[in-house]
Amino acid sequence: MPEYTGYVGRSLEFLKSNDIAVGDTVKLVGDLTYSGIIMPRYEHSDDKHIVLKLSSGYNVGLEIDKLEKIEKLFTSGKSIDTFQKLEENPSLPKVLLLSTGGTIASKVDYRTGAVTPILTAEELNLSVPELAKIANIDTEVIFSEYSENIVPDHWLQIAKKLIEYSNSDYSGIIIAHGTDTMHYTSSFLSFALAGYPIPIVLVGSQRSSDRASSDAALNLIGATKFLVECKTNGVYVIMHHNESDETIACHFGTRVRKNHTSKRSAFQTIGGDPAYIIINNKIQRNVKDDFFKVKEFKPKINLDTKVALVKYHPGYDPRLLDKIIDMGFKAIIFEGTGLGHIGKTMYDCVKKAHGKNIFLGMTSQCIDGRIGMTVYESGRDLLDLGIIPLENMIPEVALVKAMWALGNSQNNEEIKKIMLENIASEMSY
């Protein structure tokens, strides 16, 4: 049965009247001549255009009223992928790829346009054949979620799966993850699995694998090279360093942030250089030997999500903070201005929270720099009210660490001690 996903009204009638369906290869003549594959459309699109995937990998929308001629070159049909069974190369190290969703470990079905997860080593090798020359890749799907749908329960699933492989013979483990919340996941794993005996890298793709400018393959290749060549441990995020196809950055999982919505180089280490940079297949080390304080692996994967991240701004209504306190939150991370300030209209609520033994931590809205609450009178007032400065910890990392600290402590003093301990390079000096 022909497929017309996303096509309605005039565009649907246009396809039907020309005996064309999604997945067919066609030649279209208008102001220019185009050849490519008819792609599905978004559900809420208009009915004036059809979408064509060009041989370059890019999609183009064409207005049907401006098309003079359409010719079907090939008919779509469900293709069955066939793979030759990969023979393991005994001379190469082993790497495990765990997929959680996103486009990094996905392929595009050009018949339907759907992005589907790569489930086997054979499929992965077909998608990125360079990997087979670096390592023997095993794959496993934990779950498949867009990163905006990742919640702390997913962090726990990933952590438990990683614990299963803590005594394996893998050189390292790749976690394929969507980019939007990747640094939250990397932060939790950094704390919960501190001392993990082999390196763990989270890898994403800023541009989907059906685009000619996709960074999926390059990031995977860089991650695999890092795992087999760097004798280290810890949790990292590996993504493009700049717009070049030759430079990949390897960031500490607690010092990285997504700073651009769409650039391939969106991820940046805050407050310094990436831990490692891979340039033209050579790995440049930028860190000292003692960058992780925890040397023994004793997983602590409990957490408590009753933590609020409060971004202060002029006009912030303190009743919102009152509501957070009344809802039973056990920790509040403030994203304050400058050196770590919030307005005096908040002081009464802060005093109330401190009286209820709620942990209060201060971070800065500034992209870089360190909290300094003794410089101005307002900062000193907040210290007296019980707010704890969290050095140069990234606000999102402080949020995740507080969730983890709550899950692994008995009282407010223990939480404070954990939050001020530099466990996984979350505070740089």
3-state secondary structure 141-163: ECCCCCHHHCCHHHHHHHHHHHH
Alpha helices by DSSP H, 90-231:
121-127, 152-164, 182-192, 216-229
What pLDDT shows up at residue 338? Answer: 97
User: Where along the chain do its domains lie?
Assistant: 9-74, 94-285, 307-420
Topology of the domain comprising 307-420: Rossmann fold (3.40.50)
Tens of pLDDT, residue by residue over 279-335, are 987 999 998 766 666 778 999 999 999 999 999 999 999 999 999 999 999 999 999
Give 236 or 40, the one with higher predicted confidence: 236
What pLDDT shows up at residue 111? Answer: 47
Annotation marks residue 103 as catalytic: yes
- Per-residue DSSP letters for 369-404? ----TTSSHHHHHHHHTTPEE-TT--HHHHHHHHHH
- Do residues 291 and 274 make contact, with C-beta atoms less than 8 angstroms apart? no
Q: Say whether 410 sits in a helix, a strand or coil.
A: coil
Q: Single out the residue of 380, 289, 398 nearest to residue 339, CA to CA.
A: 380
Which among 70-84, 238-252, 334-348 has the top mean pLDDT? 334-348
**With 60 as the cut, is the pLDDT of residue 123 above it?**
yes
Annotation marks residue 258 as catalytic: yes
Residue type, 261: T
Report d(CA 254, CA 190) in Å as an integer: 7
Q: Check 25, 100, 139, 179 and give the catalytic one.
A: 179
- Do residues 77 and 53 make contact, with C-beta atoms less than 8 angstroms apart? no
Give 121 or 130, the one with higher predicted confidence: 130
Alpha helices by DSSP H, 209-265:
216-229
- Fold equal for 94-285 and 307-420: yes
Paired sense of beta strands 106-108 and 115-117, if any: antiparallel
- Give the residue-averaged pLDDT of 19-37: 89
Topology of the domain comprising 9-74: SH3 type barrels. (2.30.30)
Give every CB contact of residue 362 below 8 A, 6+ residues apart in sequence: 333, 334, 336, 340, 371, 373, 382, 387, 388, 389, 390
Structure tokens at 180: 């939007």
Hunting for tokens 């390196």 — which residue is that? 199
Q: What is the CATH number of domain 94-285?
A: 3.40.50.1170
Q: Check 48, 94, 109, 180 and give the catalytic one.
A: 180
Q: Check 53, 225, 258, 401 and give the catalytic one.
A: 258
Annotation marks residue 180 as catalytic: yes
Q: What percent of the chain has pLDDT over 90?
A: 61
User: Model-level pTM?
Assistant: 0.83
Structure tokens at 116: 């589907």
- Do residues 68 and 61 make contact, with C-beta atoms less than 8 angstroms apart? no
Tens of pLDDT, residue by residue over 60-70, are 889 999 999 99
Report d(CA 333, CA 354) in Å as an integer: 13
Give every CB contact of residue 315 below 8 A, 6+ residues apart in sequence: none
Hunting for tokens 């890298």 — which residue is that? 201
